[in-house]
Amino acid sequence: MSSISRIRPATIADAALCAALYAPHVRAGTGTFEIEPPDAIEMAARIDRILSRGWPWLVREAADGRLLGFAYAGQFRDRAAYVRTAETSVYVAEGETGRGHGRALMEALLDAARRAGFRTFVAVVGHSANLASVALHRSLGFREVGRLARVGEKFGRRLDVVIMQRDDCTGDGQQPG
């Protein structure tokens, strides 16, 4: 792990590095169900969509400027009643996994998402054999609330998704007991 790294809010200028980090996960991984990596222009649009609504997109960068990972949160679904529920996503650079970057990003992201008004967090983990993602979310207080069987198809395989959820308050606005 780089000895000095920091987490900061992303800007549109981070789009190319985010796209480059994300592309290997798309091409070779099942953590995302995208098939074609988005280019820098598309990534810029995604970052802008998050930031323009006041939602968090964070990057972790090494002292030499390398991007180690990114994480973002946005409203789980567009319909208005989901206003307090966010879907979170996190990606760590190839060769940098297992070094605490994912956890650090997610802790910062949850803080930022709470400041943005979210109280319930959903991670749609593709797929159940993604032990790193399941472990990361579980260690952050997410629990598995469901699975969707064979909803994805990638690399000739039918893939499930694990729905994981963390509640920072109950549905009536009360803190969980």
Binding residues for ligand COA (CB under 6 A): 25, 29, 31, 89-92, 97-103, 123, 125, 130-133, 135-136, 139
Considering the complex, state which of residue 30 and residue 171 has its C-beta at the smaller distance from ligand COA. 30
Residue 170 CB, shortest distance to ligand COA, in Å, is 24
Residue 41 CA to residue 47 CA, distance in Å, equals 10
Angle, to 10 degrees, between the axis of helix 131-139 and the axis of helix 101-115?
Answer: 50
> How near is the Cβ of 136 to ligand COA at its closest, in Å?
4
How many other β-carbons are positioned within 10 Å of the β-carbon of residue 171? 9
Residues composing the chain: 177
From its phi and psi, is residue 155 left (phi > 0), alpha (psi between -120 and 50) or beta? left
- Residue 111 or 170 with smaller CB distance to ligand COA: 111
First vs last C-alpha separation in the chain: 37
CB of 63 or CB of 132, closer to ligand COA: 132
Smallest separation, CB 92 to ligand COA (Å): 4
Q: What is the four-CA torsion angle of 132, 133, 138, 144, rounded to 10 degrees?
A: -130
Choose between 9 and 141: whose C-beta lies nearer to ligand COA: 141
Q: Give whichever of 41 and 132 is closer to ligand COA, judged by the CB atom.
A: 132
69 in helix, strand or coil? strand
CB of 174 to ligand COA, least distance (A): 28
Find the shortest distance in angstroms from Cβ 172 to ligand COA.
Answer: 28
